[in-house]
Copies of this chain bind each other. A is one copy, B any other.
């Protein structure tokens, strides 16, 4: 079954969104019978990938279609339960790669919620009108403010360890101690209690920000939302930009959007991805940008790339290498970048360029945490400049053709790359460094030299000399070198490659995000594979059977 990430808000099955001026209320109310695949019921507001795909769509539309919204209340449409977390039967029945992919996507959506609070002036408030357990509490942890109803039964909990023998899979452990600063011994105790902690103790331990009696609930939630909205930075009178349905042709061997395309080659284990630059010059000002809306090249291309990454990650696990190419006029890419960078002056009217850049940032981060080998090919006719140069900088290796090809038109210009404004700050990685800074970690001289060459069209030799590309073969060697690199990649252990890339891509400082994707996810991957969780007698498989798991007690 192929998973579809494009959704039409008119057809949401699990969520409602209500707008009241600067406050939006996002209500989770999962349809028990709306699971992505048969075999489980989404009881108690438990979720599967399909539920989370709708949530991701909501977060994106809030940012683009509702610039007037400054506070988002996340709550539940069920009685007494906020959210029971990921559906256990779904998890227990899923193969390993689906579990890992599911956790990765849900993590990205929760990071996006934090990003909206931090960078878009849309502050998320978790209004827990009932128990939030496991992934339900982790969803709350992604919000800026957590309110819990104080009714002697509602609690927050992370019951994964005691009930399922796995870890909370969407950042819970990291956020509890590193974001909310719950003391580590209390966090330990909390995470071993299936029933969790409620009431004043939950607030005293910092698991939530406040507990509110049911009698004062509605009024207090409204008040908190209003307070956040009043201090927010959004644009109350701005017009949103509609995210129109994304056109896409999908067959077994190709995926095609307007600017982004991929051919799929299962025999070689490769997806060949090409991104086209803009055909036209950008509009001259923000008004023109608003007029183009979601047809503005950067936004249109980013939406397509985002969907492609999710599609390939989920539906094509055996395509282990993604080859990245671009095609077009580097000047036009840089002109589009300039419009975004220079009109983003931080005033509320300019919300759109900032949103577009932020979306591109998140999409490139998605690429960084993708467990596929990334190889960038920089050839004549390509446009690896500014925002698109980030693709080459995100790649595990890059090849830039020195000179041109013998069979090329004699007027063909050699391939160039260009460092632009977008490479110098607006698109940080999860480690909070730019991809250039990460590349030249600990080598300030090389970094300064690269930055001094911004706006220069750099041919292969210069780019290689500056350390911006890995290899610069000429026409004679190109085909063989690239072929060998791609074939060789497909001959290695896919698991070891994922581990290698996860370590090399994130040199330098660590953040909540790198901890979640690097440390926590790696532990979770390990635990998921272990018989103690996923074996026939493992806790995940025994859950709900009334039988106890049978553990191999050796500590590793």
Given known A181-B441, A184-B507, A191-B500, contact A494–B553 (CB-CB < 8 A): yes
Judging by beta carbons under 8 Å apart, are A177 and B441 in contact?
A: yes
Shortest Cβ distance from residue A500 to the other chain B in the assembled complex, whole angstroms: 6
Judging by beta carbons under 8 Å apart, are A503 and B529 in contact?
A: no
Interface residues on A, range: 35 or more
Q: Which of B319, B505, B523 contacts A503 (CB 8 A)?
A: B523
Query: Which of A18-26, A158-166, A224-232, A344-352 lies on the face that meets chain B?
Result: A158-166
Q: Which of A474-525 contact B (CB under 8 A)?
A: 488-490, 492-505, 507-510, 514-515, 518-520, 522-525
Q: Which of B164, B192, B494, B524 contacts A554 (CB 8 A)?
A: B494
Judging by beta carbons under 8 Å apart, are B529 and A530 in contact?
A: yes
Shortest Cβ distance from residue A188 to the other chain B in the assembled complex, whole angstroms: 5
Judging by beta carbons under 8 Å apart, are A498 and B185 in contact?
A: no
A269 within 8 A of partner (CB): yes
A554 to chain B: which residues have CB within 8 Å?
97, 317-318, 494
A549 within 8 A of partner (CB): yes
A470 within 8 A of partner (CB): yes
Judging by beta carbons under 8 Å apart, are B488 and A502 in contact?
A: no
A508 to chain B: which residues have CB within 8 Å?
178
Q: Give CA–CA (A242, B114) in the complex, Å.
A: 56
Judging by beta carbons under 8 Å apart, are B504 and A187 in contact?
A: yes
Q: Give CA–CA (A525, B539) in the complex, Å.
A: 20
Q: Which of B189, B191, B498, B551 contacts A470 (CB 8 A)?
A: B189
Q: Which of A349-397 contact B (CB under 8 A)?
A: 371-372, 395-397
The 10 A-B residue pairs whose C-beta atoms are closest, nearest first, are: A165-B493, A181-B442, A522-B522, A510-B510, A499-B523, A177-B507, A526-B526, A173-B503, A317-B554, A185-B470
Interface residues of A (CB under 8 A from B): 96-97, 100-101, 160-162, 164-167, 173-174, 176-178, 181, 183-189, 191-192, 269, 317-320, 371-372, 395-398, 438-443, 467, 470, 488-490, 492-505, 507-510, 514-515, 518-520, 522-527, 529-530, 532-533, 539, 549, 551-556
Known: A178-B507, A499-B524. 20 other contacts (CB 8 A): A96-B556, A97-B554, A97-B555, A101-B556, A166-B496, A177-B507, A178-B508, A183-B439, A317-B556, A318-B555, A320-B553, A320-B555, A493-B527, A493-B533, A494-B551, A496-B533, A497-B555, A519-B522, A522-B526, A523-B525
